[in-house]
Structure 1
Amino acid sequence: MSRILIDVERMKYSNNGLFHFCNQLINAIASHPEFQQHDEYSLFAPPTIIEEYQDAYNIFKFNPLYKFFLPFTNKYDVWHSTFQNTRYFPFKFKGKIVYTIHDFNFMYENKSDQRRSEILKKIQQKVDRADVIVAISKFVKSEIVKYCKVDIAKIVVIYNGCNIVEKPKFEVPKVKPNLPFFFTIGTILEKKNFKVLPSMLLHNDCDLVIAGQQLDRAYCNKIMERAQYFGVSNRVKLIGTIPEAEKNWYLKNCQAMPFPSLAEGFGLPVLEAMHFGKPTILSRLTSLPEIGSSQAYYYDNFEPDHIATRTMEVMEDYNGNIAKKSEAIKAHAGQFTWEGAAIKYNEIYKKLS
Structure 2
Amino acid sequence: MPSPLPSRRGLPRPLRRVGIDCTLIRPDRLTGVERYALSLVTELAALAPEELVLFTHPEAPPALTRLPVEQHPAPWKVRVPVDQAWLPWAAARARVTLLHTLAFPTPLLWRGRAAITVHDATFWLHPDSVSAGMRVYYGPLFPQALARASAVFTVSEASRVDLVRAAGLPAERVHVTPNGVDERFFEARAPEGPRAPYLLSVATLEPRKNLPALLDAFRLLRRQGRDLELVLVGRQGWAQSLPLGDLAPHVRLTGTLPDAELPALYAGAACLVLPSLYEGFGLPLVEAMAAGTPAVASAIPALREVGGDAALYADPRDPASFAGAIARVLDDRDAARARAALGRERARGFTWRACAEKTLAVYRSILRRR
Shorter-normalised TM-score: what interval? 0.7 to 0.9
Shift of 1:310: 2.4
Which stretch shifts more, 47-56 or 107-116?
A: 107-116
Distance 2:168 2:33 in 1: 25
1:40 aligns with 2:51: yes
Three-state SS of the structure 2 residue aligned to 1:188 is coil
1:73 aligns with 2:91: yes
Aligned AA for 1:255?
A
The partner residue of 1:130 within 136, 144, 149 is: 149
Query: CA 1:257–1:82 in structure 2 vs 1: closer, same or farther (change >3 Å)?
Result: same
Query: What's the Cα RMSD here?
Result: 2.9
Q: Deviation of residue 252 (structure 1)?
A: 0.9
Match of 2:60 in 1: 49
Change (3 A) 1:259 1:44: same
Matches of 1:5 and 1:113 in 2, distance apart? Answer: 28
User: Cα–Cα, structure 1 residues 351 and 311, in superposed 2: closer, same or farther, change >3 Å?
Assistant: same
- Residue 111 of structure 2 corresponds to 93
Distance 2:126 2:196 in 1: 35
**Contact 2:122–2:129 (Cα < 8 Å) also in 1:** no
TM alignment of 1:153-192, pairs within 5 A = 153-165=172-184, 178-192=195-209
Residue 10 of structure 2: aligned partner: none
Q: Corresponding residue for 2:73? A: 61
Q: Distance in 2 between matches of 1:258 and 1:109?
A: 24
- Give me the whole-angstrom Cα distance separating, in 1, the residues matched to 2:345 and 2:109: 42
State the match for 1:332 in structure 2.
346
The verdict on how the C-alpha distance between 1:288 and 1:177 changes in structure 2, with shifts beyond 3 A counting, is farther
Counterpart for residue 102 of structure 1 = 119
Does the C-alpha gap of structure 1 residues 164 and 241 become closer, same or farther in structure 2, counting only changes over 3 Å? Answer: farther
Cα shift at 1:150: 2.6
How many Å separate the matches in 2 of 1:280 and 1:171? Answer: 16
Task: Note the alpha carbon deviations across 1:171-212, whole angstroms, 9 max, x for none.
Answer: 969xx9942111111111121111122333333212111111
1:236 alignment partner, one of 251, 255, 264: 251
CA 1:304–1:25 in 2, change beyond 3 Å: closer, same or farther? Answer: closer
Note the residue ranges of structure 1 that are not aligned, 5 or more in a row. none
Deviation string 1:141-189 (CA, Å, 9 cap, x unpaired) is 122112223322111111011145377677969xx99421111111111
The structure-2 alpha-carbon separation of the partners of 1:180 and 1:54, relative to structure 1 and needing over 3 Å to count, comes to closer
1: distance between equivalents of 2:343 and 2:172? Answer: 33
Q: Distance in 2 between matches of 1:112 and 1:18?
A: 15
- In structure 1, the residue matched to 2:363 is 349
Once the two structures are overlaid, the 10-residue window that deviates more, 330-339 or 288-297, is 288-297
Match of 2:272 in 1: 257
What is the TM-score normalised by the length of structure 2? 0.81
Q: Deviations over 1:77-134 (max 9, x none)?
A: 1211111x34x6265333x222111122244253699985974542111011100111
The TM-score normalised by the length of structure 1 is: 0.85
What's the CA shift string for 1:193-241, capped at 9, x where partnerless? Answer: 11122333333212111111123575222xx13xx2xxx4322222211
**Whole-Å Cα distance in 2 between the matches of residues 54 and 17 of structure 1?**
21
Identity %: 22
Deviates more, 1:288-297 or 1:258-267: 288-297
Q: Give the Cα separation in 1 of the matches to 2:37 and 2:19.
A: 13
